[in-house]
Amino acid sequence: MNIKYLKFILKLLGYKNYQVSISKIHPEQEMKVSERDDICYRLCDQGLVKFTREVTKINIAPLGKLLLDSKKAASSLTEEELKLLKATAKGTIAPGETGIAATYRQAVITDLLDQGLIEVVNQKIKEVWLTEKGKQFLCQEYSSHSTAKEISLKMLSDYLQLMRTNYHQQNKQVFSGGSDNKPTDSEILATIKDLDHNLGTDNYLPIFHLREKLQPSLSRAELDRALYRLERSDQIELSSLQEVRCYTLEQIEAGIPQNIGGRLFFIIPY
């Protein structure tokens, strides 16, 4: 691994939950923002980090143009989505030029992006964090024969702390009777029903509540697969979100993306 990439990852270890604003990450003192962001994108492609983004420039996509031309937009989109789509049809614009209130603007943008109706022309990274795969890479896979003096004692200390934390977690798994303590589909269904009852969501449980409850025992992909299995066995139904203004961007992004249409957002237990 390139030393700049390694430094980027090691910098994350110095922050709570290995997550921080991208502006705090400086792999090297004179590094340009564009180079730092490119490193972040490449590490994300490898699954070692993830990040939240802020879209700064958008434009209508070919599919969005077709929808507007077909006169079906009014019946298939919410009022806010239609307003934003029409604004992008005039050319590349900033989110602030869409006429959508700032409190839920990013959520509307995310929903239209998921449907393939608009395109990102420019974006900036907001927060970045180390993934479980990234932790595993540092603890179990990374090695180097370089003798260059590139790593500070602070980076070394943070790395050792990660190793200690990983060691203690593995010991806990051993003493608790094994490393596979993942909930079964039946247990996940029971958790869904408990959350729905306790939160009063009336058989429309937003997925982000379940993700929060089952982390870190289940990864995002593992939970998605479990929900699809429960749906195929007719124990739950997954439904998309129509009114985005009631939720934050992070809560909406916890839904399950689809190739067509908005994210699956609600769990309806039978």
Q: Is residue 19 exposed (0-12), middle (13-18) or buried (19+ Cβ within 10 Å)? A: middle
Residue 71 in this model has a pLDDT that exceeds 90: no
Strand partners, 250: none
Q: What is the mean pLDDT of residues 244-267?
A: 83
Q: What is the mean pLDDT of residues 65-80?
A: 81
CA angle 129, 47, 169 (to 5 degrees): 65
- Tokens read off for 142: 């990374």
Q: What is the mean pLDDT of residues 141-159?
A: 80
Domain ranges for the chain, please list them. Answer: 3-48+131-170, 55-126, 185-269
Residue 179: per-residue pLDDT: 47
Residue 228: per-residue pLDDT: 93
Share of the chain above pLDDT 70, in %: 94
Q: What is the mean pLDDT of residues 103-110?
A: 80
Residue 216 in this model has a pLDDT that exceeds 90: no
- Tokens read off for 102: 């700032």
Asked if residue 137 lies in contact with residue 48, where contact means CB atoms within 8 angstroms, the answer is yes
Residue 148: per-residue pLDDT: 73
Residue 230: which pLDDT band, with cuts at 50, 70 and 90?
A: very high
Tell me the whole-structure pTM to 2 decimals: 0.55
| CA 75 vs CA 67, 70, 81, 82: distances in Å | 11, 11, 11, 10
Helix then strand then coil, % of the chain, to nearest 5: 55, 15, 30
- Tokens read off for 234: 């007719």
| DSSP type of residue 269 | E
Residue 169: per-residue pLDDT: 64
| Side chain identity at residue 48, one-letter code | L
Q: What is the dihedral of CA 171, 175, 179, 183, to 10 degrees?
A: -130
Q: What is the mean pLDDT of residues 201-206?
A: 91
Q: What is the mean pLDDT of residues 104-113?
A: 82
Residue 170: per-residue pLDDT: 62
Q: Which residue has the higher pLDDT, 39 or 171?
A: 39
Q: What is the mean pLDDT of residues 197-214?
A: 90
Residue 235: per-residue pLDDT: 92
pLDDT for 217-227, tens place per residue?
Answer: 888 889 999 99
| CA 76 vs CA 17, 82, 113, 118, 144: distances in Å | 40, 9, 15, 15, 54
Residue 262 in this model has a pLDDT that exceeds 80: no
Q: What is the mean pLDDT of residues 239-262?
A: 81
Asked if residue 83 lies in contact with residue 98, where contact means CB atoms within 8 angstroms, the answer is yes
Q: What is the mean pLDDT of residues 168-182?
A: 58
Residue 260: per-residue pLDDT: 67
Give the Cα separation of 248 and 209 in Å (integer).
13
Residue 188 in this model has a pLDDT that exceeds 90: yes
Residue 39: which pLDDT band, with cuts at 50, 70 and 90?
A: very high
Q: What is the mean pLDDT of residues 58-72?
A: 87
What is the pLDDT of the chain when averaged over all its residues? 85
Residue 210: which pLDDT band, with cuts at 50, 70 and 90?
A: very high
Q: Is residue 50 exposed (0-12), middle (13-18) or buried (19+ Cβ within 10 Å)? A: middle
